[in-house]
Structures are given as C-alpha cells and as structure tokens.
Structure 1
Amino acid sequence: MATSPSPKKVLLPIVAGTEPIEASIPIDILRRAGANVTVASAGDALLVEIMYGVKILADELLVDCAAASYDLIVLPGGVPGAANLGGRATLEGIVRKHVEKGGLFAAICAAPPLALASWGLLDGHKATGHPWFVEKFPPKVTAVDANVVVDGNAVTGTGPATSMEFAMALVEQLYGKEKVEQIAKPMLVRYEGGYSMKELNSVEWHCSGTPKVLLPVANGIEEMEAIILVDALRRANADVVVASAEDGVVVTARYGTRIVADVMLDEAADRAPFDLIIVPGGMPGAKTLGGCEQLVALLKKQAEANRPYGAIGAATAHVLEPHGLLKVRAELPGTCSNPLTARRR
C-alpha cells in the first residue's frame, strides 16, 4: 500500500518588529497548501510582540530548530524586524547551512537586503525588496523592479501589499502551479490585480479624536482577515482593541496561528462605545462570534447609535445577517446604520 508523502517542512522565524502581514500571509497560505510550518521565535520567549502591537505565540524557539532540516525557510520583513533577524547569528547559521545544501529560501520587504544579502547569500542573484531598502543591496546583488523575483532557489518579494503574490510563489516552488490554482480560487485571489468596492446607502463617518475600533477574535477565525485589519487600522493610528471571545487571551486561528488578544471581550465591552466594530471571518470562528451574546449586544447598540460596524468573509453570514444587522433601518427616516461587508480576498 502506497504511503502519503511527508508534508513539506517550512521554517518562518519572527522577532520583535516583524511585519504582521508579511508573516501571517505566508504562514496561512503555506499551511493551506499542506506544509508543516514552524513559526519560530528568534527571541528568548515564545510570545513575540511584532509590529503594530500584534502579539503572536510562536510554535518553538529558534534555538531549538537548529538541528532540524527544512524544505523552505522564509524571512518576513518589518522595521526593525528584518534587521533584528539579520543580527541573529543562530538564524544566519541555520539559513546558511540550508542554502549550502541547495534548499529553497525566501525573504520579503527589508529582509532580502538586511538579512539574506548581509550574510552574502544573495551574491550573484537577482532580487527585489522594499523600495526603501533596495539601495542597501551590495554590488554583487542585482536589484530587480518586480513584486516577486525567483532566481534559482532564492525567492524575494517587495512588501506587505505583495505578500499574497509572494506566498503563492512559494507554494508554486514547493508544489507546482496546480496547487496554487487550488488554493487561489476559493480565496478569491485576483490574479489580474486591482480592487473593487461598492458603497450603498452612503453616510459620513465621524469620530472625535483617535478612532476606537473593536476587533473580536475566537478560535478558528481566519488569521489573515484579522491580522491585516489590525495592521492596516493601526497604521492609520486607530486605537484597535483585539478582544478574545474565548476563555483566555490566546486564540488559535484557522490555520494554526496563535494570536494573543489584548483583552477579553467582557473587558473590551467596558470601553464602549466604539467608533467601529469589525468582525473577521473564518470557520468555525465566525460561528462562535455569531453566538456570542455579548458581541451581538455590542453590535446591536452600535447599529442603534448609527455607528459603523462591519464583517468580512463568513462573518457577514454568521454574525451580521442572523441578527438583523444587514437590514435597512427604514423606521428612521434620513438615517441608516452603516454595515461594511467584504468577501475575503
């Protein structure tokens, strides 16, 4: 009887200052493809606070990964995350040994110049990186103006907005184009690029001072949908509260990323009202959130006060719709609640 091939093994180190999107998207996509991804802390503890206050609980410490072998090593960027990775002698030794054996290696954003190139591992290669950092490539590296560059066993990418393209390139290198197509179609990935948005029942959003945003999480939520929202909103200087609807602050997302919430949901409720409540999707997380009486009560109060709220992916169907939060409020002439919904991308 034929045995199934062993899963591809991937190492993805994180450190203080790692860019959340550049870490979470490759983790999610590679695990969707069937890879066994080890998220390793390059620090002294498993709990790592990366950029924009996002807290991730790693699977292992990097020092405990030194003796293992991998099919792929991926370095996320971030400031100062990329430089922090580049300064880790343990990581350099792991990656160097991997490259010398002909292994596939990758980096995105500031990590190609500040880590791989600083170790001499991109010498003679064509590579890309974030436009703010490509000038730091040494003369032996040829900088290419492209979102993703594959040159031999090296894969490099430019930054957060191209993280999906970068991750799909990694899947293609490990598994082939057919696997990319299998993953991309249900995720609604746009190969042709571009975005589309329709705004109906337009209203103006107002808030006094720094916007307060509530983002609830539960086991099984889609990690990309949660982390991208937190990253983008905190970049805009919003005060985002990530609140757990579980029994503790550690939430295991759909593809195994362990997100550490800022507070429990009942504590977050004491901080109401919020200028925006936004609910990530993913199953069974969205179903759990839809059954959370405290969250539903907060959303209904948000709607009654005509404050914005929204959902993405499965949360639209499992959180907003069952509780009447997508209905037009015809009983209040001249006003309407402002639900914001989106398909996952």
Structure 2
Amino acid sequence: MAAVAPAPEEEDYVAADAAKLAAPHVEDDERQGGCCCCCGTASSSLARRATSWCRRKLVSRPVVCRGPTEPAAKRVLVAVAAGTEPLEAATAADILDRAGARVTVATASSGLIVEAGHGVRFAADARVAGLEAEEFDLIVLPGGMAGSANLRDCKPLEKMVRKHAEKGRMCGAIGAAPAVVLARWGVLQGFKATCHPALLGRLGDGGVIAVDDRVVKDRNVVTSQGIGTAIEFALALVEQLYGQRTAEEVAGPLYMRPKQGVKYSIQEYNQVQWKCTGTPRVLVPVANGSEEMEALNLIDVLRRASARVTVASVEDVPRIVTRHYKLNLIADVMLEQAAEMEFDLIVMPGGLPGALKFTSTDKLVGMLKKQAESGRPYGAICASPAYVLEPHGLLKGKKATSFPPMAHLLTDQSACEYRVVVDGNLMTSRAPGTATEFALAIVEKLFGEEKAVAIAKELVFM
C-alpha cells in the first residue's frame, strides 16, 4: 500500500489556480431536466406540495439571475468551527444557495481549513473575525458538541449574533447549537426552541421553552434537532427568508422523503450477503461538481458506523469544488494512491459535473470494473448510475435507480421509482434527498440492520 502524502498547507489552497478548482454548472443540461439537485422539506405537507410542484414544472435550480432592478440577494452567514457537524453546515449552505441567497461559510478559528466532525476537512470562505462589520439577513449555527463549544467560545461571533438578534434579524441553529450556543448567550430567552433530543433538558437553563419537535419556528428564530432534520431545517429558513413558494421550488427536485421520521426502505433484488474481512474499507471518489450532501452523507454515516472511509480526489488537487460551491472538500488521498489499495466497497456521489469527470477517468472506471468482476460491492447515487455505471456496462443485468430526470438513460428502468435499490452487490439511489437513506442502507448491508437503525436514531432520522 502506498504511503499517504501529507495534505498541502492552507496557503497552497489559497494560492491554487482558480481554473483548476472551477467546475461548470452545466446549466443548459439542467434547464432540460438533467439536474443533480435534491431537496428536503420542513414538513410532510411541504414535501407533498414540492412533489406536486416538481411534476408541474421540472426545475433543477429554481432561482434565476436577477436583473439590475431586482433586489440584492439575502446575505447568509453559516458559522463553522473545529468539530462542526459537516452535514448540518453543508445542508444549510447548499439549500440556501439554491434559493438564491448569498452564503458565506466563515470559520471561528484563525485558519480557513476546518477540521470538522468525523474526519471531514473543508475550506471556509472567510474568518468570523474578519466579518464583524458586515450585516447579514440570517446567521446559521450548525451543531456538533465540539463544534458548538468552539462557536460558543468565539467572542467575535457572540458579539455579532447578539447585535444581529437585537435588531430582530433571523437566527437559525441545529443539533447541539441551540442549547450549547444560543441558550448560553441568552439569545433564546423566552423563545420556543428545540435541539438534539439528548440536550433538550439543557434548554430550560437559558430560560427557553423547550419543544421536542423536528423544527421549531418562533418569531425570528428557527431551531432543529440534528442531521436527520437538516433538510427540513434549511427549507424552513428558506421559507422564512423568501416565502413558501420559493421553499417549494427548492424542495421539488431534491426528492425528499414523503414522510419524515420514519424508517428508511430498501428495494432489494437477488439478495446476497456483503462480506468483508475485518473492518469494511470504503472508497468515496470526489470530483469538482460532486454533490456535497451526497458525498458527506456517505462519509459521515459510514464513519459513524466505524467503516474505514477513504475520500479520493479524481482531480489534480486534493481540494474539491463541490456542486454548489459552498463547502470545498479536501480529500484524504489522490485517486492514484487509492488505486493501490483494496476496498470492500466503492461508492460514488452524484452531481452531473462530478459524474462526467468520473466517467472519463479511466483509472476509476477500471477500479469499478475490477470491483464488479470480483463480486465486491459498488454503488452510486443521483447522476452517477446513469452517467458512470450505465455507459461502462456496470448495470448490465442489474436493477437500479437514478436521478429521476436521468432515468431514461438506464437500459432497465423497472426499479427507477424506488429511493434505494440493491441488486446483489450493487446499490443505487436517486438524489440528495435520498442520500441519508442510501448511506444507512449501505450500513445495513455492511454491519446489519440493528446498527443502521441505531445510527438513524442518533441522527434523528427516525
């Protein structure tokens, strides 16, 4: 096995050639329904309305560029720190960006590289300390116990949030952040709020009316419970900023669950046991334009299950510009190094630009073919089944699903209605709104149903 090279220093990322990090939006394809977006909803009723909207008007990125006479985009700050839950941060940034907000991801630390939870590394846009004079329409605080504690101890952020709240502007917090940060600062005094169920008892210490619900809106504050409620939380923020119609437009192409809080479901054909020797080793390739919510669900959930997850860049740099340009992931290794390793599972996120890079990368395609020929598991979500697996014969004789507007590209479309499909050693899924189910289904195949359900409950997914 090749040694893993040390990650470049932060200055290398900042000085990197922007052209190498840029990924095309592929807007023309999106306008034709070839989008790789996905969404979640703040409630089951919103999910139904969004599904209806998506059927009436298939859109991938609903907000178009504003003309010179239209109002400026809403400004949103997503504050992050070492130990932040990456999925909570990414989901809020991603979905608010889809709604047309001008999102800044700022770190409470002195450097731009964030060592988030579960070994995830990403680059922030700015430092909180440099934004104290800025005005925002919304400030969002993701959770994670360590991340929330670091946000709480950031004095410039506390000053910003207190001033922001005094002006009656919107605040959002999820997971541990409502209890550990906002309640501690006194911002929630007299408000109804929620947080991760394990911390609900601590809300009352800050004079908060604790509510055990997935998302709670009270005046200018929106709070939520955890990773499993992150899409609902983000859409509630969109609705507060832009209204119900925009929230429905953003939600439609995400293909979120019709009903929240229930167990994930798997449509399985040709059932076989996925066998691993020891701790499962999983490869997650990433590329410029990969969907951040899909990639992070795989990384986060599988690492929670104690899988050894390796994130490999198929580009010529470790830093990946993700689909909505809000959380630039930093891979563990380059694909050339990963190619010298053995994996029990190779699984790809979607995002059309990322999938197009995957399908044109001979080394990755060769690894996938070797994986399939040896009977070892492989999988893909969203655009990747249609644009990577299908053209290279990796779906031959298999049932699969994909991002719905791309389903016509599959030779066998008989299983495309399902959210997660397993056929022997292959697993596929539809969109960012099915990404957590997809990751949990993988955990079930690798570790068993009991472990998958325990993680789902930890995430407040069910």
TM-score (norm 1): 0.96
2:231 to 137, 148, 164: 164
Aligned residues: 338
Query: Are residues 126 and 61 of structure 1, via their aligned partners in 2, closer, same or farther at CA, if it must alter by over 3 Å?
Result: same
Per the TM alignment, residue 200 of structure 1 is displaced from its structure 2 partner at its CA by 1.1
What CA deviation, in whole Å up to 9, does each residue of 1:202-229 have, x standing for no partner?
1100111111000000000110000011
Q: Secondary structure at the match of 1:323?
A: coil
C-alpha displacement at 1:41, in angstroms?
1.0
Q: CA deviation at 1:145?
A: 1.1
Unaligned runs of 5+ in 1: 330-335
Structure 1 segments, 4+ long, off by >4 Å, are: none
Letter in 2 for 1:119: W
Q: 2:176 aligned to 99, 102, 110, which one?
A: 110
Does the aligned pair in 2 maintain the 1:303–1:337 contact within 8 Å? no
- Larger RCO of the pair (alpha carbons < 8 Å, separation 6+): 2
Deviation by residue 1:280-335 (Cα, 9 ceiling, x = unmatched): 00121111111110100000000011000000000110111110111138xxxxxx
Q: Is the 8 A contact 2:279 2:308 kept in 1?
A: yes
CA–CA separation in structure 2 for the residues paired with 1:276 and 1:263 = 16
Matched, 1:178 2:245: yes
Between 67-76 and 178-187, report the one with greater CA deviation. 178-187
3-state SS in 1 of match to 2:197: coil
Aligned equivalents of 1:34 and 1:185: distance in 2?
15
Verify the 8 A CA contact 2:186 2:206 in the aligned structure 1.
no
**1:337 offset after TM fit, Å?**
5.7
Distance 1:160 1:183 in 2: 19
User: Which of residues 58, 63, 74 in structure 1 aligns to 2:140?
Assistant: 74
Report if aligned partners of 2:356, 2:387 keep a CA contact under 8 Å in 1.
yes
Residue 269 of structure 2 contacts residue 424 of structure 2 at CA under 8 Å; is this kept in 1? no
Q: Which residue of 1 aligns with 2:42?
A: none
Alpha-carbon shift at residue 98 of structure 1 (Å): 0.6
Structure 2 segments unaligned to the other structure (5+ residues): 1-66, 399-422, 434-462
- Amino acid aligned to 1:339: L
1:192 Cα deviation after fit? 2.3
For residue 220 of structure 1, the aligned residue among 250, 265, 289 is 289
Partner of 2:321: 252
Structure 2 Cα separation of the partners of residues 309 and 191 of structure 1? 27
- The structure 1 residue matched to 2:106, chosen from 37, 40, 48, is 40
| Matched residue, 2:331 | 261
Other structure's SS at 1:317 match:
helix
Question: Alignment partner of 1:189: what SS?
Answer: coil
Tell me, yes or no, if the aligned pair for 1:57 and 1:259 is still in contact at 8 Å.
yes
2:160, 2:266 → 1: CA distance? 44
Offset of residue 101 of structure 1: 1.0
Give the 5 Å matches for 1:53-68: 53-68=119-134
Candidates 70, 87, 97, aligned match of 1:31: 97
What's the CA shift for 1:5?
Answer: 1.3
Match of 2:384 in 1: 315
- Tell me the secondary structure at the aligned position of residue 112 of structure 1: helix
Partner of residue 144, structure 1: 211
Larger fraction in strand: 1
Of Structure 1 and Structure 2, the greater helix share is in: 2
Q: 1:79: how far off?
A: 2.1
In 2, the alpha carbon distance for the partners of 1:295 and 1:172 equals 40
1:36-70 Cα deviation digits (max 9, x unpaired): 11000111110011000000100001111111000
Identity %: 52
Partner of 1:190: 257
